[in-house]
Structure 1
Amino acid sequence: MLERTRRKSTTEITFVLPADQPAGEVSVVGDFNDWQPGAHQLTARRDGMRSVSVTMLADSRVAFRYLAHGDHWFDDQDADDHDGTNGYLHT
């Protein structure tokens, strides 16, 4: 799930996943963090989910994926677009 908060020149994207699916650590990686694993790791929320928020420039297109423990890459079905390799957001 993706939550978005639009501001004047930025958009805050909150990446949200269930706390236990997949098990173990998960980070979101993409153009916005030079594909660096662990740079934006999802953390537990009180509602049984886990999330991380990233502020990005408004009106841009950003590629991203999730990386879970054991080098397991996966996509977010709520992405604006998919190209078979990455998901994309339009901020």
Structure 2
Amino acid sequence: MLERSRTKKHTQVTFVLPADHPAGATSVVGDFNDWRPGAHPLAERPDGTRAVTVALPHDQRHAFRYLAHGDYWFDDEAADGHDGRNSLLHT
């Protein structure tokens, strides 16, 4: 799931996953972090979900995926779209 809030200069995008799926460490990887695994790891929130927030420029399209323990790559079904390879979000 994606949560968004706009500031004057950026769109804050929060990537959110359930607490237990998938198990183990998970990070969001995309064109905004040069596809570097571990650059934006999800951390547990008080409600049990896991999340990470990334500030991105307004009015842009970004491709991303999640990378979990064991080299498990997966998409976000709640993304703004999919291009056949990646999840897409619009800021």
Name the TM tier (shorter chain): over 0.9
- Structure 1 position 78, deviation (Å): 1.1
Q: Secondary structure at the match of 2:4?
A: strand
C-alpha separation in 2, matches of 1:80 and 1:3:
11
Question: What is aligned with 2:36?
Answer: 36
Question: What is aligned with 1:19?
Answer: 19
C-alpha separation in 2, matches of 1:59 and 1:10:
9
TM-score (norm 1): 0.97
The count of residues paired between Structure 1 and Structure 2 equals: 91
Structure 1 runs, 4 residues or longer, greater than 2 Å off: none
- Give matches, 1:1-91, under 5 Å: 1-91=1-91
Q: Secondary structure at the match of 1:32?
A: helix
TM-score (norm 2): 0.97
Unpaired segments of 5 or more residues in structure 1? none
Q: Taking every aligned residue pair, what percent have the same amino acid on both sides?
A: 67
